[in-house]
Amino acid sequence: MLNRLKSSDPPLPFPRSSQVDGQLRELRCHYGRELYRVLYRRSENLFVLLHIFEKRGSVISEVEKRVARERWQDFKDRMGASTRQPPRAAGHDAP
């Protein structure tokens, strides 16, 4: 699904993707019978995947949007720093 995102094209149309809030968009993904949502934004030619969660209802909760907004702000802060900081580790490597 991610390979369908192209920096030169307009956003994927509904039902694959839709606008959530401002420039925050969602990508709808299926894995077997499970339905997932990936919240993302563009930074020029880069797609920044901010948050993924299992779909449990038709409306995206404010909690999920807040997580994506906080991660976007963290990304912008790091990219705008005079000395760029690498992303924090995730998964089993996390501190």
pLDDT at site 29: 85
Q: Specify whether the CB–CB gap between 56 and 36 falls below 8 A.
A: no
> What b/e sequence results for 67-87 when a residue is b if at least 16 CB atoms lie within 10 Å of its CB, and e otherwise?
ebbebbeebeeeeeeeeeeee
Place of tokens 């299992």: 54
Q: Note the pTM of the prediction, 2 decimals.
A: 0.72
Identify the band that residue 84 occupies on the pLDDT scale cut at 50, 70 and 90.
low
- Is the C-alpha dihedral spanning 40, 22, 66, 81 positive or negative? positive
3-class DSSP state of 69:
helix
